[in-house]
Amino acid sequence: MSFTGAAGWIAALAVVLGGLRLVTAIFVLFTEDPSEAARMVLGSRTTGQAIDQGLFMIVVGVCIGVLTEISERLGAIVERNVDHN
């Protein structure tokens, strides 16, 4: 169960960091020179690339979170079955 707990933290961290990258890229998009600001602030060639990376990180975090929930439910089912036998 320690891996399940760690995966939950990783999923939450991925969603938060992906959201921060997405929001930062959107703010950079509205600057005077978005392409230069994207290189300096985001470390990406374009703001679109940073937005894609942020969305991808959010999707990965949600997938890890779903797998964590499945792991927790299966663990509860296995414990319940072991107790009945």
Per-residue pLDDT tens over the stretch 42-78: 888 899 999 999 999 999 999 999 999 999 999 888 8
Distance CA 80, CA 47 (A): 50
Residue 4 near residue 79 (C-beta atoms within 8 A): no
Distance CA 47, CA 31 (A): 11
* Parent domain of 80: 2-84
Supply the DSSP symbol for 30.
T
**Domain total in the chain:** 1
Percent residues over pLDDT 70 in the chain = 98
Where is 85: in which H helix or E strand? Answer: none
Within the chain, where are the H helices? 2-29, 34-37, 47-84
Q: How far is CA 72 from the centre of its chain?
A: 19
The pTM of the full predicted model, rounded to 2 decimals, is 0.86
Per DSSP, the three-state class of 5 is: helix
